[in-house]
Structure 1
Amino acid sequence: MKTFFRLVALVKPYLWWMALAAFIGFATTGSGIGLLMTSAYIIAKAALQPPMVALQVGIAGVRFFGLARGAFRYAERLISHNITFKILAKLRLWFYDAIEPLAPARLMHFKSGDLLQRVVDDIQSLENIYTRVLGPPLTALLVTALMWFLLGSYSVSAAMIILCFHTLAGIGVPILTMQLSRGISVGIMKHKAEEQVLALDLIQGIGELQLYGNLPAHLAAMQSAETGKLQLQRKNAVIEGLHESLTGLLMNGAVITILWTLIPSISSGATANGIALSVITLAVMASFEPFLPLPSTIKHIEADQHAGERLFEILDAKPETIAPANPIPFPSEHAIQVKRLSFTYPGSTAKALDSLSFSVLPGEHIAIVGPSGAGKSTITALFMRFWNSREGCINIGGHNITLFDPEELRRNIALVSQKTYLFAETIRENLTLAAPGATDDDLKKALTAAGLSHFASKLDEWCGQHGMKLSGGERQRIAIARILLQRAPIMILDEATANLDGITEKEVTETLTAISAGKTLITITHRLKAMEKYHRIFVLEKGKIVEQGVHSELMAGNGLYRRMWELQHMTELG
């Protein structure tokens, strides 16, 4: 239950609102009880044909409780739904604020479909924490106290009877339901998560599944997950019908028992009369209404606890990089020194980088080249502090980058990666990520400089999911526009043109060359094109620098760089 109490702590700011909603829910049920009691009184009293004045109190009570019940029901729904939506918004913001520092290092072991399930469905299930878990038991408890007071004024034995039956309905039936439905809610959530992962894998990898002949097996796995979920949902429906029937059975049992107890005393005239008995009977029947949702409360506790465990599994992870207690400002002098930098990814034994050392002067343009798997992109990840290295260091302006606030560091290093990510928003919103205070004129100038002058009039055009309404070249140019707006003194191009066609690659490369003038530029690539423009080139193999120099010097040798250049250019010529 530790997870459940942690979840309850998250909604603690809304405690008084939840108490108010529960009290109004009690008032709604109480008005329903009062309505039936006064209605029973009028019907039973009218059967004795009294003067009209004797029915006035009952008539006024019916009017009052009828209007009050509708008003209280509306107020209860209004307040409870408002609380629910506030709790849901708080949970989403809380989860995003907690998960954002974990990316990408701590999230690499989770599949995107599984993360999506946690972000959407698991948090969505927690909206029940008040309406289905915390509120109903409190309302039922207040109704039990009300019935003890009402029936106790007529008969203590009747009050004891209703207390026993309410206890069975409020504790016994939920416990029985819990035993019968143990694991069902969790099982349904697991099947949904499995379906989410399989569906996303199908959408993103249908080509590979067809190529390797695994599509039928993948579809069979999806069908199996759906079948398992439907079976659990059917079982869940049967159990829900059962607990509703049991609650109804207890209600009838309470009515019969109370009648059995009170009728002899009424016949002898020792206690209340027959009119009171009819009033008590309908009050008992109405009092069981708030007990109907209680068995579901147990199932929602189980589901909420499972959802909470899945969320806390991520959130309890310690971020790979954290801001220092007293970060220093980013220096105005941007000389870069990499000293004996080594890094090994978690779960791997091979070093991605092995005692790497090099320096970059302010305004210098260097290229880091090498075959796939040489460790080039790891350098980018360490520069941006997506990961921390346990061996060696990266200094900028003579200061270790771990002394800077990570956000401040990233604002001063502009990155264009192989895959530019665009949010499913407008072009304007994707650009202002780099400069939140940028004006329309700033955005238009950046787009024009990036070769997208025709987009200057389309700032409010939607980019599509992952920017798929735009071509690969347009997405890369959007990235270029963003780094123009960012105005960072250091630029890193990590395979920035790897997925572009030859013509677009040439245009994007020329644009990047133009905007990098006067800035420190680190280009990371395996494609050896326009290498003559770089002041120095570092050749990386198995995490180590095996060659360095300018293009002409490296071509004069007979090393890896020349072999890569000849292979690529011979392939292009061929």
Structure 2
Amino acid sequence: MTAADGVTPVGREPAGPTGVPVAPSGSPEPPAPARTGAERAVLRLARPYLSRLLGAGLLAAATEFAGLALMATATWLLMSAAGRPPLDRLTVAIVAVRALAVSRGVFRYTERLAGHDAVLRMITDVRARVFATLAARRETGRRTGDALSRLVSDVEAAQDLLLRVLVPGAAAALVSVLAVGIAALISPPAAGVLAIGLLVAGVALPALATRITRRAADEVAPLRGALAVDAVDLTHGAADLAAFGATGAALAAAHQRAGRLARLERRLAATGFAVDALGVLVGGLTAAAVVVVALRAEVGGVLVGVLAVGSLAAVEVALALVAAARQRTQLRAGLARVADLLTEPATATPQTTPEPGNDGHDVRFSDVTVRYRAGAAPALAGFDLDLPAGRRVAVVGPSGAGKSTLAAVLTGAVRPDAGRVTARGVPVSEIPAEHLPRVVGGLLAEAYVFHATVKENLLLGRPDATEADLAAAARAAGLLDWVREQPDGWETVVGEQGGQLSGGQRQRLALARALLAAPPVLVLDEPTEGLDPAAADAVLESTLAATPAGHSVLLISHRLSGLAGLDEIVVLEGGRVVQRGRHDELVARPGWYREQWLRQEAAERGYLAITP
């Protein structure tokens, strides 16, 4: 969908010299500060859910402690029962074992419930923010597949950072400290040995795991993004690849990346197994050392067994820090890929946002300049325009004059490098993304049509629209007759990206959707593209007639026919205003508008003369 529906496309795929899409070899390695900044950004976004996350962390610690206590208590019970004492001496231990076994399951369930509730709420905000930033930037260097990878896989890294790193890591550290404290009550020397073992398991091994997996882990996320690009290229560019004989090369490149990714993942798995084996060794050595020290300290036989089993269980808990460190290493690259998207400047507070509604919104462009690349010629330079509520203005000019850039700036898809655009005095860039489509919307040059029915595509503009509303919008867009001719009527499926429609039908469908949304400021970028002159004039006339009174219209067009009734016409060339005025004024004086109007009139008269 385009900004007319609240979403704008990320950008087109770059192509090679033959026009065939060229997949990058990989994404550049993000700098280390981006990774740290990404973690800070995730934690900032988690602040509203801090109480839930804290509760999840405490429940995770309670789960691990219950498991540790269960092992120790069960060991004491078994060793004590071997001496056949009176049953009343074992009653408390029996009850404790049953209580700990049950509570461990309860704690684990509630921990997962609380943690996932908090994280899934947060991830909704993160994904919406990343999507809005990707759409607003419209970076031409961003590949569609790579953007999808960032939106899905990389954003999930924020979820895993909390659920698989911070919560279990904090719980393991807390339980390890408690284990040493309890061991100290039985035998301080044994507690000292246990502390050393826990430091090795919880500090040294995580550091080792991080060091030996960092390089491979940092390559995984960019490779997954490149593979997503390959998938998009091979799917949507299949015809182009076949036409240029590049299918084999594209498949070979995809297989090469897939093989590289598989090798990296095998390497990560192998190093993980090696570190896990070291963890088992550390646990066994720690338990053996604790037993030796406890016996030398003349600790009772039953308590020696409790210390031994408890040490094994405590080291097992501490090894969760190894898994957390390994997971954090694998998340670094993914977090870095969304770091700049998570640290975008905050939008304005709702108090400064114009209230969406059916009334008009005054729009003003003040000295707006836009460059798509540093050092490039401006797409817009010093542009000024007042668009009061109810005013209808057309912007015309040759291809590349900056017309579509103007529409993109007004709809928030592109931010100006200088100057400002305001709606009712509020900068468009400060209006929250969820409110902007209710203030400014319409039909942009890349209107998206979904693989759904005609009705479902139209209802995206106004979900509560009645069939009469749909018919009125379709009639204004010149689509109603075609809909009625279809066997399935409104339920006609239009195909992937409107593939079952002609170019003109697709444009009319998108136009009808924009009219149905009826934003106070309606932007129409080439609304009659793909239509013959007679149909274009009829659609433009009915579209303007269907716009509610008091609503503003900004019409972007290369055709000059049908503009006589507009309040103002602005002529752009090279991103600058070269003429402005009403139609009759511009036709009466020399300039680009007069020359182009005469040329188009002659061409269209000739077309109509030969049209049956």
Higher CA-based Rg: 1
1:186 correspondence with 2:208 = no
User: What is the CA distance between 1:382 and its match in structure 2?
Assistant: 4.9
Report what 1:125 is aligned to: 157
Matches within 5 A, 1:38-49: 38-49=73-84
Report what 1:31 is aligned to: 66
Give ranges in structure 2 of 5+ residues lacking alignment. 1-35
Relative to structure 1, the CA distance from residue 171 to residue 103 in structure 2 (aligned partners, 3 Å threshold; closer, same or farther) is: same
8 Å contact kept, 1:477–1:508: no
Secondary structure in 2 matching 1:415: strand
Match of 1:481 among 509, 512, 530: 512
Greater mean alpha carbon deviation, residues 518-527 or residues 256-265: 518-527
TM-score by length of 1: 0.78
Report what 1:403 is aligned to: 425
% identical equivalent positions: 27
Matches within 5 A, 1:328-343: none
Query: Counterpart amino acid of 2:64?
Result: T
Secondary structure in 1 matching 2:237: helix
1:135 correspondence with 2:167 = yes
Relative to structure 1, the CA distance from residue 536 to residue 30 in structure 2 (aligned partners, 3 Å threshold; closer, same or farther) is: closer
Report what 2:308 is aligned to: 281
User: What is the CA distance between 1:279 and its match in structure 2?
Assistant: 2.5
User: What is the CA distance between 1:182 and its match in structure 2?
Assistant: 1.5
Write out per-residue CA displacement over residues 492-543 of structure 1, whole angstroms, 9 at most, x where no aligned residue: 542223245x5xx854652331231397766544457778988998776545
Aligned counterparts of 1:229 and 1:242: Cα–Cα separation in 2: 20
8 Å contact kept, 1:432–1:438: yes
The count of aligned residue pairs is 558
Aligned counterparts of 2:186 and 2:366: Cα–Cα separation in 1: 88
8 Å contact kept, 1:327–1:405: no
Greater mean alpha carbon deviation, residues 353-362 or residues 31-40: 353-362
Write out per-residue CA displacement over residues 385-440 of structure 1, whole angstroms, 9 at most, x where no aligned residue: 6556678999xxxxx86835536997676633333234677766754665576556
Report what 1:224 is aligned to: 256
Report what 1:81 is aligned to: 116
Query: Counterpart amino acid of 1:285?
Result: L
Match of 2:539 among 511, 521, 524: 511
Write out per-residue CA displacement over residues 229-277 of structure 1, whole angstroms, 9 at most, x where no aligned residue: 1111111101111121111101100111122223355xxxx431x2332
User: What is the CA distance between 1:311 and its match in structure 2?
Assistant: 2.1
1:204 correspondence with 2:236 = yes
Report what 1:256 is aligned to: 288
Secondary structure in 1 matching 2:442: strand
Write out per-residue CA displacement over residues 349-376 of structure 1, whole angstroms, 9 at most, x where no aligned residue: 4344568899999989876555432433
Match of 1:244 among 276, 282, 287: 276
Query: Counterpart amino acid of 2:167?
Result: G
1:110 correspondence with 2:138 = no
Report what 1:271 is aligned to: 299
8 Å contact kept, 1:323–1:405: no
Relative to structure 1, the CA distance from residue 540 to residue 55 in structure 2 (aligned partners, 3 Å threshold; closer, same or farther) is: closer
Write out per-residue CA displacement over residues 127-175 of structure 1, whole angstroms, 9 at most, x where no aligned residue: 1122221122322223223322332233211111111101110001001
Relative to structure 1, the CA distance from residue 445 to residue 537 in structure 2 (aligned partners, 3 Å threshold; closer, same or farther) is: closer
Report what 2:41 is aligned to: 6
Write out per-residue CA displacement over residues 67-108 of structure 1, whole angstroms, 9 at most, x where no aligned residue: 233333333333333333233234234445xx35x7445644
Aligned counterparts of 1:160 and 1:363: Cα–Cα separation in 2: 80
TM-score by length of 2: 0.74
Report what 1:497 is aligned to: 528
Relative to structure 1, the CA distance from residue 245 to residue 495 in structure 2 (aligned partners, 3 Å threshold; closer, same or farther) is: same
Relative to structure 1, the CA distance from residue 254 to residue 94 in structure 2 (aligned partners, 3 Å threshold; closer, same or farther) is: same
1:169 correspondence with 2:201 = yes
8 Å contact kept, 1:555–1:561: no
Give ranges in structure 1 of 5+ residues lacking alignment. 395-399
Write out per-residue CA displacement over residues 515-573 of structure 1, whole angstroms, 9 at most, x where no aligned residue: 31397766544457778988998776545658996699799999455556667887996
Report what 1:159 is aligned to: 191
Relative to structure 1, the CA distance from residue 567 to residue 218 in structure 2 (aligned partners, 3 Å threshold; closer, same or farther) is: farther
8 Å contact kept, 2:201–2:318: yes
RMSD: 4.7
Report what 1:397 is aligned to: none
User: What is the CA distance between 1:313 and its match in structure 2?
Assistant: 1.6
